[in-house]
Structure 1
Amino acid sequence: MIEKEIMIQGNDPIFGTLTFPEEDVTYPALLLLPGSGPVDRDGNDRKGKYQTNLYKDLAHFMTGLGFAVLRFDKRGTGKRGGDWMAAGLSDLTSDAKSAMKFLRAHPNVDQENVIVCGHSERTIIATILAETMNPAGCMLLSGGVDNLMQALHHQRQLAYKELFELPGFKGWINRTLKVDVKNEKKTEKLLEKMKKSDEDIIKIQFFFKQPAKWFREHSDYDTRAALKKVTCLVFALHGDKDPLVESRVLEELDELVQGKSEYHIIHNMEHGLRVQDEERSMLKMKKIFKEVLKRPLHEEGLEKMAGWLNSHFKTKDVSGSK
């Protein structure tokens, strides 16, 4: 495997890593878009608290299948300047489009066979690129169909359900105080404040920063309407232990997209595509995550990805070499 550091020129240069199975051969390619939060091209944060290497591992796996793979630092992570919290959906989409153009123009990439692959929140950006840039395929990992507001609503409802089901006094007091009603009112008030603001970042209670532009632009984006314009092949993958997504929405894919689609829900797989034997839980997710990080990516999940990629995008050298 060949791994190279790249820089995409512009007013705000983008730094990333491009991997190939071999040099001087032309390959189908994947643009890998990482999930939300301050994690770099590999899936790691600057402070070393969350060292997942998820995107590095995925890139190496996909390169092993015979694909070129580009992953890059988001704003304010890795070698990239800026503030990740100030970036809105439009900024993130602009970066992704620049990376897609770079990948298509690379001499060792088959520009007719470039696939966009988004994880978590970046499944929404992958959908935008599928709608507007006509890639050969679109992969939605641990996300898809719902927009951000709908996904967050689902997460809150699952958390309320767990709070109400706590044993003894804890569950009783949560039900009695109607914590769901009170929290939904607070959430609605906060979202309204961000929508009315024209700032990239706002503070609540004087100290706590919130990515207002990110929320505003996400709340205005209709993912299902975009999917209706998607003509490329679409692949979606969820884990049944992932509390951050509602997997039933994947049943809508076939009716939404114009091209052929397929989806898989993997038993005992969590949001970061690793093995999770523990229960599916919003309240215990952070605690479980510490143990999950010690485990490998889910073998069945990788097999489903490999099967789709190999069946639709056979590795080939369009320059004539084999």
Structure 2
Amino acid sequence: MYSSYAQDFSGDWKGTVDIRGSKLDIAFHIEKVDTIYTTTLDIPAQGLNGAKASNTKVDNTSVIIIFSDLKLTYEGSLNYNGEIIGNMKQGGFPIPLNLKRGTVILKRPQEPKPPFNYYSEEITFVSDADNVSLKGTLTLPEKDGQFPLVIIVSGSGPQNRDGDMFGHKPYLVLADHLTKNGIAVFRFDERGVGESGGDFSKVTIELSSLDVKSAMDFLKERREINNAKIGLIGHSIGGIVAPKVASENKKISFLVLLAAPGVPGDQLMLSQKAAFEKDMGFNELQIQQGQKLVEKAYDIIKEAKLDNQSLKDSIHSYYKNKYGNLFPENQRKALVNQITSYEVASFIRSRPSEYLEKIKIPVLALNGDKDLQVLPKENLAAIKAALDKAGNANVEIMELKSLNHLFQEATRGSLGEYSEIEQTFSPIALDVLTAWIKEQVK
């Protein structure tokens, strides 16, 4: 039986929550200094690591951990077996979460582990946009020699050099595979992420393009790089950034587009929203209502030349006038903040064809037929049409069977599968793009 004085909760704790049939591993690390407890939270499958609690309260055998930034609270009590029995609350809804001592380790069999049989070097370069220092990793097949180079241009959201997402590191896996096949690879932390300076909240497609160009300008001067054979691999929104850089710079000699947008940004976001809602079981009426909810807001973003705050105010006014109290304030604010962020707003305004129609260099465009974020048929068709308009005959377009947006072998392609799948990057997709790049640089 536990005594009445406070127990020591220090150490690593792990548990699993069940959210609508999808299981998610949760880990807490609790430390005690004198009488003060501090806690960090990891949800590896969602790429959340080391989130700091704003308060940890211990009272005898009970603990309350508050994460104000995440609007999340955990409350639990020790039982006779030394386990914490409790609930996690987010948005006021309790979800059972029992904890036992231990850490969460995800099965990621493809993730490369040192020592590596190639040369790796930490690189710092300065963006021409505003002199912000950005950091990344250059991998070379050997320390000495001259090699073709690819620069990985990351997808949406704040991405580090490995592309940490849903417990996977796809850009690390990709870089490792290419380097082992004789190709130098550079991947870097985006602004405000990892070891890079700057502020990610201000990132747009234009700013990302300047950062990629600065990386290329810096690396092409290295003696190990064959500056006549430099290519870009753009994933997701990086598949807009990469063509933009290539359309403006003759030093780029080939382009790989992975799940890249081909249709206008607002159109893609509408089709993505419909695909997600269909996957979640929404009926056609609900899906159409969802389209109507956002399409006018997208029009405002496309047409208005307003600063960020004025744009938010304009869309809030639209929703208040259109829906009044039928659209709850907290939901309205969350939606407006999301779609008016610098990156998302620049994506909504984007027209990939604007850059693709200027591309004359060899292009490989790959997409998975299970991709719900960038629907393969309409986007690959739009990419091909734009490149045809450019008169580009050196183009290969492939829709790969059973692959999702991250190029994992998937059943449905839904977001919930990303973390559950142990595979990080399909070996078939890796082999296809590697063989194509080697053909371009031979």
TM-score range, shorter chain: 0.7 to 0.9
Asked whether the equivalents of residues 146 and 224 of structure 1 are also in contact (C-alpha less than 8 Å), the reply is yes
Aligned 8 A contact 1:31 1:103 in 2: no
- TM-align CA RMSD: 2.3
8 Å CA contact 1:121–1:148 kept in 2: the answer is no
| Partner SS state of residue 190, structure 2 | coil
1:109-137 superposed Cα distances (whole Å, 9 cap, x missing partner): 11111001101111000110121112110
2:430 pairs with 1:298: no
Q: How far is the alpha carbon of 1:74 from its aligned partner? A: 0.7
Q: Compare CA radii of gyration and give the structure with the larger one.
A: 2
- Structure 1 residues 9, 245: closer, same or farther in 2, change over 3 A? closer
1: CA distance, partners of 2:168 / 2:388: 35
TM-score by length of 2: 0.62
Deviates more, 1:102-111 or 1:210-219: 210-219
CA contact (8 A) 1:124 1:147 kept: no
Answer whether contact 1:73 1:79 (CA < 8 A) is retained: yes
Matched residue SS, 2:360: coil
1:275: which partner in 2? 409
Which residue of 288, 312, 319 corresponds with 1:181? 288
Aligned to 2:179: 63
Structure 1: which 5+ runs fail to align?
315-322
Answering whether residue 316 of structure 2 is matched by residue 199 of structure 1, we say: no
Q: Does 1:21 align with 2:149?
A: no
Gaps of at least 5 residues in structure 2 are 1-117, 317-328
Q: Which of residues 380, 387, 393 is equivalent to 1:250?
A: 380
- Assess if the C-alpha contact under 8 Å between 2:155 and 2:238 holds in 1: yes
Matches for 1:132-171 after TM superposition, within 5 Å: 132-134=248-250, 135-162=252-279, 166=281
Query: Do 2:364 and 2:396's aligned partners in 1 also have CA atoms closer than 8 Å?
Result: yes
Match of 2:343 among 214, 229, 248: 214
Higher relative contact order (CA 8 A, sep 6+): 1
Report Cα offsets for 1:213-272 as digits up to 9, x if no partner.
334433433211321111100001111111112222324515244331002111121111
Larger helix proportion of the pair: 1
Partner of 2:438: helix, strand, or coil? helix
Alpha-carbon distance in structure 1 between the residues aligned to 2:408 and 2:276: 22
- What are the equivalent positions in structure 2 for 1:117-132 lying under 5 Å apart? 117-132=233-248
Give the one of 32, 35, 40 matched to 2:160. 40
Q: Is residue 266 from structure 1 mapped to residue 400 from structure 2 by the alignment?
A: yes
Aligned equivalents of 1:311, 1:194: Cα separation in 2: 42
Q: TM-score, normalised by structure 1?
A: 0.83
Match of 1:228 among 351, 357, 365: 357
Query: Per the alignment, do residues 180 and 274 of structure 1 end up closer, same or farther by CA in structure 2, a change over 3 Å counting?
Result: closer
> Which range moves more in the overlay, 35-44 or 206-215?
206-215
Q: Write the distance in 2 (CA, Å) between the matches of 1:52 and 1:202.
A: 33
How far is 1:162 from its partner? 4.4
Contact 2:163 2:172 in 1 (8 A): yes
Distance 1:221 1:245 in 2: 14
Decide whether the 8 Å contact of 2:191 with 2:197 is kept in 1.
Answer: yes
Q: 1:308 maps to what in 2?
A: 436
- Deviations, residues 22-62 of structure 1 (Å, cap 9, x unaligned): 112111100111111122110126xxxx3311111111111
Percentage of matched positions with identical amino acids = 26
User: Shift of the alpha carbon at 1:302?
Assistant: 1.2
C-alpha separation in 1, matches of 2:177 and 2:372: 25
